[in-house]
Chain A
Amino acid sequence: MKEKITFADLVDKIAEETGSSKQLVHDLLHETVNLTREGLGRDGHVNITGLGRFSLKWHKARTGRNPQTGDAIEIPARSSVNYKPSADLRKYINRNYAHLQAEILDEDKKPVIENHIAAPVIEEKIVPPPVTESPKTPSDKKKKRSLWWLWMLITLLIIILAYMAWNFWLKTATDKEPIATEMVTDDAVVQPIATEEPVEEVQPSEAEQPIIEEPVEEAQPTEAEQPLVAEPVKEVQPAEAEQPIIEEPAAEEPIALQTTAGTPGGQHITKRGDNLWIISQRYYNKADLWPNIYRVNHIEIKNPDNLAVGNIIQVPALEGKVGSLTHNDSANIAEGNIRAYLVYKKLNKTDANDYLWVAGRYDVDNKISQFSDEIDEEDINRIKGMKLKE
């Protein structure tokens, strides 16, 4: 049997603990009950802080059954007073059970969950993993590596092709350049001097000016196509008449284009990419004869392998042809090879003796003995049993 506290005992207890009079506590409890009844009657619910909520609940009429007799009984509609304790009160009396949580029962009881709600959610969560895991497979990594090497090879090929195309373009550009603009034949050099001679002779005597003007006027029709070049010819003074040997042939370029293109016996203005080997190939159609060009220009050219751009190189003509050289041609080629040997010896080139050996083959005038003061005797002895490198 549960212990029960009466209203009087409750009043005594509250009065004792609060220090208030029993009458006041009695009136307080009594009026609180009355106000609760009034509130239920008026609003249908009453809230008392710290205690809970009293409310009325309406029940519809229904048919019940007498449990003893089993007869049906008509239960009329009625209203009942309900009570819901406040959250603070519930929490206080359950403070010893606050740590307990509701446990979900074993999974045998969960088919309801999978069939109704969880199933579609789980399916959505399962779908993404294969997509995220697929790129991490080793086969895909290998494919990526192989593709990387492929791309590297393609880029290397493109770079090599571009480099080859650039070199080819450079060669073709140099080959297509009008040689007449770069070289001057012996005739072209002679002609302007011949035309200037009357200028030098005539200018001191002003009486014969009409005669002087004639060659100038004769030159003008040819210079009419290039007015910029014609002006310096008119302004040339007698004292400087011998200097513009380089410029004057430019005034007669049309003549050079027709007569001296690709033939030796003139001058060549070096450009970027030029070397004696290329120049010899261009003018003699044989690159091996480059020492012959070097022979004439050995004072200006300190290193045959490195030509400065803009240099004027004399290209000597051959008396014979490349296939049938004359005695003088052979002697000149021998001298050129000796000079090539000397300069390469000076530059500590390893293949200097090759040129000495070649000079020996062309040496019809005993040129080697002429340069015996400059050539080492050891090298002469060495080339006797030597074969030319291919």
Chain B
Amino acid sequence: MTSSEIIKNLSLRLGKSQLETKQLIKSSTEIIRDILDKNINISLPGLGTLSRHFVKKKKSYDPFHKWFIMSPPKRVIRFRPGSSIKNEFKSKKV
């Protein structure tokens, strides 16, 4: 499912125009982004939890050039699915 399909469906379910729906989604994702940037976990019922993590610099291997590199430190976003969604798609073969 693409973003445009989500906006289209949301506008139908919310009774709002697609433009308004798009604006709402955009502002909501920006707020979520800022919350994650502040290293605050976000829990979405029925979906899971989004969290930000810090990864230290580490030695890694570049498989393309086939040499070892020292990766710089970085921040990553991780998602932990909720139990309901895990159970729902547990047996679903893609």
Contact = CB atoms under 8 A, between A and B. Distances in A.
Interface of A: 2-7, 10, 13-14, 17-18, 20, 24-25, 27-52, 54, 56-58, 77-83, 85, 89-90, 92-94, 97, 100-105, 109-110, 112-113, 116-117
A248 B63 CA distance: 113
B46 A102 contact: no
B8 to A, nearest CB: 10
**What is the predominant secondary structure among interface residues of chain B facing chain A?**
mixed
Contacts of A50: 25-26, 29-30, 33
Given A4-B42, A31-B10, 12 more contacts: A3-B40, A13-B31, A18-B24, A31-B9, A37-B88, A39-B5, A42-B1, A46-B6, A52-B77, A100-B72, A105-B70, A109-B68
A135 to B, nearest CB: 36
A28 B10 CA distance: 7
B27 A18 contact: yes
Nearest to A100: B72
Nearest to A34: B46
14 contacts: A7-B44, A10-B32, A32-B25, A33-B45, A37-B88, A39-B1, A46-B1, A52-B79, A79-B93, A80-B86, A90-B77, A93-B33, A93-B52, A102-B70
B46 to A, nearest CB: 5
Q: Most chain-B CB neighbours within 10 Å: which of A3, A7, A40?
A: A40
Contacts, number: 196
B72 A49 contact: no
Given A34-B46, A85-B77, A102 B71 contact: yes
Contacts of A105: 59, 67-70
Interface in B59-94: 59-60, 62, 65-79, 81, 85-86, 88-94
Most chain B beta-carbon neighbours within 10 Å: one of A47, A51, A80, A112: A51
B18 interface: no
A92 B41 contact: no
Contacts of B32: 10, 51
A54 B77 CA distance: 13
A264 to B, nearest CB: 105
Contact of B70 (A7, A46, A103): A103
Contacts of A81: 48, 79, 81, 85-86, 89
B75 A93 contact: yes
Contact of B46 (A37, A45, A110): A37
A24 B24 CA distance: 9
A223 to B, nearest CB: 107
A93 to B, nearest CB: 5
A112 B69 contact: no
A37 B32 CA distance: 19
Nearest to B41: A4
Nearest to A44: B94
Q: Give the top 8 A-B pairs by smallest Cβ distance, nearest first.
A: A39-B1, A83-B79, A100-B72, A50-B29, A81-B81, A85-B77, A49-B3, A44-B94
A56 B70 contact: no
A4 B38 CA distance: 11
Contacts of A13: 31, 35
B74 A49 contact: no
Contact of B42 (A10, A38, A89, A97): A10
B75 A33 contact: no
A81 B70 CA distance: 30
Nearest to B27: A18
A104 B69 CA distance: 4
Contacts of A94: 74-75
Given A37-B88, A56-B89, A79-B93, A31 B14 contact: yes
Contacts of A47: 1-3
Contact of B92 (A20, A39, A56, A92): A56
Nearest to B71: A102
B42 A116 contact: no
A58 B24 contact: no
A89 B85 contact: no
A7 B81 contact: no
B35 to A, nearest CB: 6
Contacts of A35: 1, 6, 9-10
B28 interface: yes
A79 B91 contact: yes
